[in-house]
Amino acid sequence: MNVQRLIWILWPSFIVGGVATGVFFTLFDPRELELFGEPLGSSRLAVYSIGFFAFWLFAAASSALTCFFQRTSAEINRGGAGASAHPGGTDRDTRDATSR
């Protein structure tokens, strides 16, 4: 993964994580949140931080999937771990041609 694609994923997800944290904690007080019926024993700052990183993680996953699904067939078929040394063919094509 190149640096530009990494920036395409992390920067927008950072912004979305910040906005989502602001909206969520405007509506819900961290002291009133419960996990499995028990109140959270963490400070407000810890809950804000955990919330931000959770929102950032979800937004980054969404951005990463967007980058993954927008690839063209040419990008998928060229280079990479499973690509063959033979341009325009796969290892199976090369083996079939030599076994004939």
Query: For 33-49, how does the pLDDT look when each residue is reduced to its tens digit (9 = 90+)?
Result: 888 888 888 888 998 99
DSSP 84: -
Number of domains in the chain: 1
Predicted confidence band of residue 1 (pLDDT cuts 50, 70, 90): low
Report yes or no on whether pTM surpasses 0.85. no
The 10s digit of each residue's pLDDT in 46-93 is 989 999 999 999 999 999 998 888 888 888 888 655 444 444 555 555
**What residue numbers bound the domain in which 75 lies?**
3-99
23 three-state secondary structure: helix
Range from 2-6, 19-23, 84-88 that averages highest in pLDDT: 19-23
Contacting residues for 55 by C-beta, under 8 A, at least 6 apart: 16, 17, 20, 21, 24
